[in-house]
Structure 1
Amino acid sequence: MTSAALSFRYVGDSGMDETMNQQLLIDNGLPNSLAPVLSFKALDETHHVLPDVKVSTVFGSDRGNLVVPYGGSYDILRFSGPGKHDVTDVRVTVQRKTEARNPAGSHDVTTQALDSHGRAIEKFERFSAVRLINEDNFPVFVRIAYILWDQPPKGVTQQAVEVTPIGGLTSVPAHGTAVVKVSGKAAAAVARNSYGPAVSIKAYNSQ
């Protein structure tokens, strides 16, 4: 699946432990960062469209919310509706692609959960803040998603069933860090889901 500078590959399950399911890998062949608006159709194993399956995203590549640097990035897809467990691939259409207002770096911004005293703790615990770490030599702008995953039976891909933003658009300095406090709906989600099912804290380039 290709549209000029952008190409896509859907990976339902990589077969590797600790790897998120239902990923859309996005390759960007241009030297500048792009903020595409994508649309999707879910496909079954025979590559027929599943018309009743709605496809949405965690990071917002369907809304122009995800910034894709040169080289590429990824989003996480969510499926709903009759036939959602039959999805084996997706058809991607680029509705629009524009140059991002703020460039993204080649390294993913990483996250670290912190307790109320600023100490590093596990993401499965009840954390009070998130430290963002930028390895690139220029500042980047990211958002944070707190993701709750379902626990499907064997042979069914794991899906993000609840996605809660932590904070808003945050600038992380070059070779530096930023700390985002957990409050409001995010604090409620952390309290509800801590010490329970699988969760992820993911930062993604945005605008």
Structure 2
Amino acid sequence: MRRKPREKRPFSLKYVPVATDGGPDQVLTIENHTEVSVLPTLAFTPISVYGHELPHVVTQTVNGSHLGGPLLPAGGTLRDILRFDGPGSRQVRGVRVELAAVEEIDHPALEQDTRSVMIDLEQKATDEPADFWGIGLVNPNSFGVTVRVSLLEFEERERDFPRQVVDVVTLQEDVDLASVSNHVIWLPEDVRGQFHEVVHHLRQPTYA
């Protein structure tokens, strides 16, 4: 007797408290296995290394997925970085994630992922804050997209604790990227060398 194959869930979630590839810690990835683009709103319950809930810890996200707004394209991926505050925040080693709401929207599936990178004066990718003079944005798709861009500053590493975001500066205006295009945004002098990472996420289109 053949077993009936399990139906794939419409969304899957993965949380990595400490990165092993040199990237940011406390990264949440949500994958959309449907053919519909959505605006998800997520709810979080922080968990200790022993599996206990930490009720006094407040969870926030860099891209705002706890508030709704970031766009998760059909068949695509949304990444967000979590920050934990309050008594017990240093004990967080996991998180229980629930989809509090999902709004379907009309947006095409991405052909390829959009990208954002830190660049130096020669417009070459860099991971050194001192050389971080600008933001490079790439849209390899055959249609325009709208992205929201944020600069992140991280705390100094303390023992084996996850490294938390201590400051987030989000560009005042969302950026409209034309089809198959590159775009450069130069940073003001007063913020150069301050930030360690640039991130972006898709928003509902504002382009014509």
Q: Does 1:34 align with 2:38?
A: yes
How is 1:191-206 mapped onto 2 (pairs within 5 angstroms)?
191-192=190-191, 194-195=192-193, 199-206=196-203
Query: Distance in 1 between the 2:14 and 2:136 partners?
Result: 30
Q: Could you list the runs of 5+ residues in structure 1 that have no partner in the other structure?
A: none
Q: CA deviation at 1:164?
A: 0.3
When residues 104 and 125 of structure 1 are mapped into structure 2, their CA distance, relative to the original with a 3 A threshold, is: farther
Task: Give the Å deviation of 1:73.
Answer: 2.1
Query: Could you say if the C-alpha distance between residues 114 and 102 of structure 1 is closer, same or farther in structure 2, counting changes exceeding 3 Å?
Result: farther
Q: Partner of 1:65: helix, strand, or coil?
A: coil
The SS at the match of 1:85 is helix
Which residue number in structure 2 is paired with residue 155 of structure 1?
Answer: 160
Give the secondary structure class of the aligned counterpart of 1:37.
Answer: strand
- Tell me which residue corresponds to 1:144: 149
In structure 2, C-alpha distance between the alignment counterparts of 1:155 and 1:104, rounded to whole Å? 38
- With over 3 angstroms needed to count, the CA separation of the structure-2 counterparts of 1:10 and 1:127, relative to structure 1, is closer
Are the structure 2 counterparts of residues 126 and 14 from structure 1 closer, same or farther at C-alpha, using a change threshold of 3 Å?
Answer: closer
- What is the alpha-carbon distance in structure 2 between the residues aligned to residue 126 and residue 45 of structure 1? 37
Distance 1:144 1:120 in 2: 17
Shift of residue 126, structure 1, vs aligned partner: 7.0
CA RMSD of aligned residues (A): 2.5
- What is the deviation of 1:134? 1.0
Aligned residue identity for 1:108: T
CA distance in 2: counterparts of 1:131 and 1:19, whole angstroms: 18
Name the stretch that deviates more: 28-37 or 155-164. Answer: 28-37
Letter in 1 for 2:197: S
Q: TM-score, normalised by structure 1?
A: 0.82
Match of 1:108 among 92, 98, 114: 114
Matched residues, number: 193
Bigger Rg, structure 1 or 2: 2
Residue 129 of structure 1, CA deviation: 4.5
Is this contact kept in 2: 1:114–1:131, CA < 8 A?
no
**Secondary structure at the counterpart of residue 55 of structure 1:** strand
**Unmatched segments (≥5 aa) in structure 2:** 1-7
**Seq. identity, %:** 25
8 Å CA contact 1:109–1:204 kept in 2: the answer is no
Any idea what SS the aligned residue of 1:64 has? coil
SS in 1 for 2:51: coil
Closer, same or farther in 2 for the Cα pair 1:130/1:31, shift >3 Å?
Answer: same
